[in-house]
A = this chain, B = another copy of it.
Amino acid sequence: MPLRQMTSQVSVETTGRRLYPVTDAMVAWIASSGIKTGLLTLFVPHTSASLLIQENYDPDVQSDLERFFSRLVPEGDPLFAHVLEGPDDMPAHVRAALTQTHLGVPVVNGRLALGTWQGIYLYEHRARGRRRHILLHLLGDD
């Protein structure tokens, strides 16, 4: 079968700084695509939210991760001149720089080839939530 591509989009309503699971939406879309072997690429068109693959089992991992980033890039750091949009805005840009704007995950036998303990997350870095988008690109064949 010749290679083909498909695109889609997923939206997430966030409510503050934390990881939001999006794996299920990816799994459902790939199943509906009919593609059996290929590569999924995710992209966030945002500068204060990002993407991350993380441990999906113990909720402590996600709260530990959030505490680590909050300490590493603290609000109100006198280092930052960009404060017009609030004390959480510049830390959000730094946190986005330290994580991912795009991810790639292989598709094998019609399924995302995530490890047992891996989940895909949108990482909201602003203190207040907003509507976030993830663009999806799927390459592969049947």
Contacts and interface: CB of A to CB of B under 8 A. Distances in A.
Interface of A: 2-5, 7, 37-39, 41, 43-47, 52-55, 58, 60-61, 63-65, 67-68, 71-73, 79-82, 84, 90, 93-94, 96-106, 108, 113-118, 135, 137, 139-141
Nearest to A113: B135
Contact of A47 (B37, B54, B84): B54
Contact of A93 (B44, B65, B100): B65
Contact of A139 (B39, B64, B84, B101): B39
Please tell me how many copies of the chain the complex holds: 3
8 contacts: A5-B139, A7-B37, A45-B115, A55-B93, A61-B90, A68-B94, A100-B101, A102-B103
Contacts of A52: 97
Chain A, interface SS category: mixed
Contact of A3 (B3, B63, B99, B135): B3
Nearest to A92: B55
Contacts of A61: 82, 90, 93
